[in-house]
Amino acid sequence: MESGLPITFCKRRLATVWFGGAGIVFLLVLLQSLFGRYGDEVTQAWGWLLSSVMPTLSLIIGVLVLDAVQRADVTRTIDAFLFRLTVWLSLAYLLAVFLVVVLTPFSDLGPIQLMTKLNVVLGPVQGLVAAAMGAFFVRAAREVHFTLEEEEEGPAIAAAAAAAESGRSRER
């Protein structure tokens, strides 16, 4: 069985992947907007881009702010496979969004028509990424929750909670 990775490291790595990838696409759309690539449809181009990345960026920011406000335990770990799956799905999705923007000049369709047409493909991939991100952050929050219980409720109550959790996992 694969060992776990530090939760804080994983959250920051996902933030780096998402803000880095979205930032690159953002700059590309900004340059294309400034040079008239979208003509009168600049608003639609930005609407497409923002709806493609903002939900996930908002989730990440929310989790990072919550961690900063609470005393997150940096020693807790998360399943390495789940983290890597989330990173690879995120990279694939961000690459697809990047390619849509980069390839618009080479398409017979107008940029907005191409973006709209490819939403049929990007939508399900975005759904997979959202599911993986949700699973990752819920699992991470659950791990931190048990850490906080141990500190606040004492070892006896934490041991009882761990035993109950162990029993639930065997039932599954």
Alpha-carbon separation of residue 38 from 20, 35, 42, 101, 117 (angstroms): 23, 8, 5, 11, 16
- Per-residue pLDDT, 105: 84
Q: Specify the pLDDT at position 104.
A: 86
For the packed helices 80-103 and 42-69, what is the interaxial angle rounded to 10 degrees? 160
CA angle 165, 88, 130 (to 5 degrees): 60
Share of the chain above pLDDT 70, in %: 76
Question: What does the pLDDT read at residue 90?
Answer: 96
Cβ-count burial 55-66 (b if 16+ within 10 Å, e if not):
ebeebbeebbee
- Residues in contact with 44: Cβ distance below 8 Å, sequence separation at least 6, in sequence order: 38, 112, 115
The tens digit of pLDDT for each residue in 31-83 reads 999 999 898 999 999 999 999 999 999 999 988 888 788 765 567 788 899 89
Cβ(80)–Cβ(7) under 8 Å? no
**Which range has the worst mean pLDDT, 114-118, 120-124, 130-134, 160-164?**
160-164
Give residue 142's pLDDT. 62
**For the chain, percent helix, then strand, then coil, each to nearest 5?**
85, 5, 10
Give mean pLDDT, residues 2-11. Answer: 83
- Local confidence band at 144 (pLDDT 50, 70, 90 cut-offs): low
| Residue ranges per structural domain of the chain | 4-171
Q: pTM of the predicted model, to two decimals?
A: 0.78
